[in-house]
Amino acid sequence: MSALLEALVSFEASLATRQEPAGVLHALLDHLPSLLPLRAVALVTIDDATLLPTIALRRPSTAQELDQELARIVEDGSFALALRRGEAVVAERSDRSLLLVQACADPEHLAGLVLAIVERVDSEQLALLAVLAARTATAHHNRELLAQQRAHAAQLERMVAERTRELAAALEKAETASRAKSAFLATMSHELRTPLNGIIGLTDTLMTDERDAVRRERLAVVRSCAEALLAQIEGILDFSRIEAGKLELVNTECDPEAIAVGVLRALAPRAASKGLQLLWLPSADFPARVWLDDHRLQQVLTNLVGNAVKFTERGRVIVRGAAQCQDGRWQLAFTVDDSGPGIAPEVQARLFTPFSQGDARINRRYGGTGLGLSIARHLCRAMGGDIALESAVGVGSRFTARVSSERGVPWERSSSALPRIAVLASGWLKEAALACLQRLGTQPCAAAQAEVLLVDASDAPAVAEAAALPEASLLLAISPTASSAPAALAARRHATVLVPFATRDLAEALAKLAAAASDRASRPAEAAPPLAGLQVLAADDQEVNRLVLELLLQRLGVAALIVDGGAAAVALSTARRWDAILLDCQMPDVDGFTAAARIRAFGVRAPLIAVTADASERDREHCLAHGFDDFVPKPVELAQLAAALSRQCRRAPEAAEPAPSEQLAALRAEIGGEAFAAVVQAFLAELPAHLAAIADAVAQGDLPLVARHAHAVKGDAANLRLRELAAAAKRLEQAAKAGDREALAPAAEELRRAWSACAPLLSATAAS
C-alpha cells in the first residue's frame, strides 16, 4: 500500500513540473507501469481536423499490436463506449489477456484515451486508473488554458507594442505639425505687424499734419482699422502659444490693486466718451502685494473690462476686488459688473470657445476674432484660477476672474491718525470712496464736522455743498475728461484724485493735504537764513528741470553744479567733497538708481537725494531701499528741497513760502521774471521735440519710449503749474504703461491739443 501511495505522490509531483499539455500525457504514461501490471500501453488522441483516433504515445514503442487493437475497438464500438463512460471498458483478447480502454476526460475536456494490455486486473486497479485518467484530464485542460492565456497575452503585447509605435509616430507627426504651425504663426505675426506699424505710424504723422477735418476723420478710420487688425494678430499669436503649450508665466511681486486701477484708467477715456461710470471697489482685506505674472493679469483684466465698456451703452462698469488667504496662499477674485444688454444662456454656452463670439451680429458690429475670452480663461487657469460668468438678458453681465498667488502681503492700515472725512458724492462713486476709506481704516462723518471733504467734482450739488463749508480742506475726485477743479472750488486748499482711483491715491492725497496744513501751522514769522555754503551736485536729463533746480538752489544760497544725465553725475561725483547729490530717478542713459549704486561703489559718502515725478509713499520707500538717503517729489518746491537738504546736511532750512495754487503768475513771482522767462523759453524749445518723439514712438508701437517722453512732459508741465498739460501727459503715460494701444493715439492727440491750448498763454506770460 505504501508503494502505491509513493507512486501516486510521484505522479502528482511529476504533473506539477509539466508546463505543457503534452508533458502531462507523458507523465501519465511514465507512471502507469508502476501502478498497474501493464504489458503494453498507449495514449490515443482525436485529430481535430479528421476526428479520427491516433496513437500519440506508446510504451513500449515496439508494441505494434496496439494499432490492431485500436482498429478493432473502433470497429466494434468499444472506443465510443469508453468515451461515454467514466470508467474503463474491459475486453478479453484471444490470448486470454485483457484490453483496457479508459477515457482521460472531465466534464469540460477530453485529453485522450488510455489503451492498455494487461494480464489481469481487479476492481481497485480499475478505480485507480479512472482517478489517474480524470486527474490527467484536469491537468491537461489547465495547461491548455494556460497556454492559450500566454498566447493571448503575447498577442496583446504585440498589439500594444504596435499601437504604441503608431501613437508615437502620430504624436511626433502632431508635434512636428504644431511646431511648424507655431513657427509659421510667429513668422507671419512678425511679417504682418511690421507693415501695420508702418501704416499706423504714417497715419499718425498724416493726422498730425492734416488740417482738413474730413481727411483727418478718414485717416482716423484707417488708423482704427489697422489697430484692430494688429490686436487680432496679437490675439491669434497668444492663442497659438497656449495651444502649443508654450505659454510661460513670469511671476513677480506686484500690487494687484494698482494693476486693476491702471487698466481702468487706460480705458477711462473710452468709458467717459460713452458717459459710463468706471470705478474700482476693493474689499477691506484685498492684499497689498502678491506674486503673479502682472502682465498676464493685466491682459485678462483689459479683456474683461474692455469688453464691458465696448458692449455697455449706458450706465456703469464696476470692478470689484476680493481676496481670501488660506495657509499663506492667496485667492484673488476680480469681478466685472456691467449694465449692458446681457447674454442669453445659449450664447453663454459657447462664449469661451475659440473664434466664437456667440452672435454673428457682434462680429459685424464690433469686429474681433472671438479669441479674447478664450485666451483670458486659459491665462486664469494657468495662474491657478478660472473665469465664471453670470448674465441675464436686459440686466447685464458679471464676469469673475480668479487667480492664485503662492504668497502675498496683507494690506496694512496706516498707523497715523486720519482726519475726519465726509464724502460728498452719490451712486457708485460714493460706494468706491467708502470702500477705499474702509481699507484706510476710517468711516465718513457728517459734512459739518469734517476736516476734509471728498467731493465729486462733476456733481453740481456736491460742489455747491462743499463751497458752503469754507473751513474744510478739499479732496476733489476729478473725471478723466475734466481739465481742472470746478471754478467754485479752485481757489480753496485742495488735492485731487483721478477717477477711477485706488486706495493709495486717497492715502497720498490725504497725506499731501496734511503736509500742507502742517507746513502752514509751523511756518515761522521770519524766514530762516538760507543753506549758504553747501556744495551740491544735481543731475537731470530735462533742461527745464535743470533750470528750476538751479534757481531754487540759488535762492537757498547753495553752490550747485547741475549736469545733464546720470553718467555725468557719476563722473563728477568724486571731483570734490559734495555736501549732497541730487539725482532724477528716470534718466534715459543712466537712471538715478544705477547712478546711485555707481557713486556708492566709488566710496562717495555724500547724501543722495532722489528727485522724481512719481511722488507716492511707495516710490519714496523704493528710493530709500535702493541707496538713496532722502526723497524730493516733483514738482520740486522750495520748502521741500530745503527740508531735505537740512535733514541730510544738518543745516537749518529756509522756510520759504510753498508754491501757491499752480498758477503761472504765482510761479513768476516766486522765481523772478527773468528766471521765469528763461525756464519758459527752454520749455517752449524742448516740448515740440518731445511731441515729435511721441508721435514717432506711437507710429512704431514703441510703448516704453512713449511712456518715457510722456513722463518727461508730465514733469516739465507740473514744474510750470500747467495742470491740463500735465494731466494729458499723465494719461498718455498710463496708457503706454498699461499696453492699451487703442487709447494711445487719442491720448497723444489729447496731449497735442492741450499743448496747442496752453502754448500761446505761456508765451504771452513769459513776454509780459
Query: Does the pLDDT value for residue 758 go beyond 90?
Result: no
Enter the C-alpha cell of residue 371.
479669441
pLDDT, tens digit (0-9, with 9 covering 90-100), for 410-463: 988 766 678 899 999 999 999 999 999 999 888 899 988 888 999 998 888 888
Does the pLDDT of residue 477 top 70, yes or no?
yes
Contact in structure between 700 and 726 (CB atoms under 8 Å): no
pLDDT at 334 > cutoff 90? yes
pLDDT of 657: 36
For the segment 328-339, the average pLDDT, to the nearest whole number, is 95
Choice among 27-36, 186-195, 705-714, 734-743 with the minimum mean pLDDT? 186-195
Residue 366: which H helix or E strand, with range?
helix 360-366
Beta bridge partners of 89: 101
Task: Give the CA distances from residue 105 to residues 14, 132, 133, in Å, rounded to whole numbers and listed in that order.
Answer: 19, 10, 7
pLDDT tens column, 165-208: 999 988 888 888 777 776 676 666 656 766 776 677 667 667 76
Long-range contacts of 316-320 (CB under 8 A, 24+ apart): 316/276, 316/277, 316/278, 316/279, 316/428, 317/271, 317/276, 317/277, 317/278, 317/279, 318/277, 318/279, 318/281, 318/428, 319/260, 319/264, 319/278, 319/279, 319/280, 319/281, 320/280, 320/281, 320/282, 320/283
Residue 197's pLDDT is what?
A: 63
**DSSP characters over 649-701:** HT-PPP-PPPP-SS-HHHHHHHH-HHHHHHHHHHHHHHHHHHHHHHHHHHHHT
Q: Which parts of 701-740 fold into alpha helices (H)? A: 703-719, 723-738
Examine the pLDDT at 512 and tell me if it is beyond 90: no
Whole-number pLDDT of residue 677: 78
Whether residue 103 is predicted with pLDDT greater than 90 in this model: the reply is no
- Residues 592 and 72: their CA atoms lie apart, in Å, by 117
Name the least confident of 466-470, 688-692, 762-766: 762-766
**Whole-number pLDDT of residue 526:** 40
Distance between CA atoms of residues 221 and 200, nearest Å: 11
Q: Is the pLDDT of residue 590 over 60?
A: yes
The answer on pLDDT for 518 being more than 70 is: no
Query: Which of the four pLDDT bands, split at 50, 70 and 90, describes residue 527?
Result: very low
Judge whether 112 and 21 are in contact, CB under 8 Å.
Answer: no
Mean pLDDT of all residues in 378-391: 92
End-to-end CA distance of the chain: 142
Q: What is the average pLDDT across 618-623? A: 78
Alpha helices in 89-212 (DSSP H): 123-209
Q: Which residue has the higher pLDDT, 271 or 717?
A: 271
Q: Scanning the structure block, which residue is given the C-alpha cell 448674465?
A: 391
Query: By mean pLDDT, which of 418-427, 483-492, 589-598, 699-708 is the weakest?
Result: 483-492
pLDDT of the residue at 528: 41
pLDDT tens-digit readout, 673-697 = 777 777 788 888 888 888 888 988 8
pLDDT tens by residue, 57-76: 888 877 678 888 888 888 88
What letter does residue 447 receive in the DSSP assignment? G
Q: Check pLDDT > 50 for residue 564.
A: yes
Among 156-160, 183-187, 271-275, 745-749, the least confident range: 183-187
pLDDT(2) > 70? no
Q: 13, 139 in Cβ contact below 8 A?
A: no
pLDDT higher at 551 or 163: 163
Mean local confidence (pLDDT), 35-58? 82
Backbone angles phi, psi at 55, to 5 degrees: -75, 115
Quote the pLDDT of residue 655.
Answer: 39
Q: Where are the alpha helices (H) located in 210-246, listed in sequence order?
A: 213-243
CA angle, residues 245, 251, 252, in degrees to nearest 5: 160
220 pLDDT tier (thresholds 50, 70, 90): confident
At CA 251, angle to CA 248 and CA 256, rounded to 5?
125
- Residue 519: pLDDT band with limits 50, 70, 90: low
Q: What mean pLDDT value characterizes the chain?
A: 81
| Residue 121 reports pLDDT greater than 80 | yes
Question: What is the chain's length?
Answer: 768
Model pLDDT, residue 333? 97
Largest CA distance in the chain: 156
Taking 3-state DSSP, the helix, strand and coil percentages for the chain, each rounded to the nearest 5, stand at 55, 20, 30
**Residue the block writes with cell 496683507:** 410
DSSP reduced 3-state for 90: strand
Is the model's pLDDT at 290 over the cut of 90? yes
Name the nearest CA neighbour of 745 among 233, 753, 258: 753
Give percent of the chain above pLDDT 90: 18
Res 661 pLDDT > 60: no
* 639 contacts 656 by C-beta, under 8 angstroms: yes
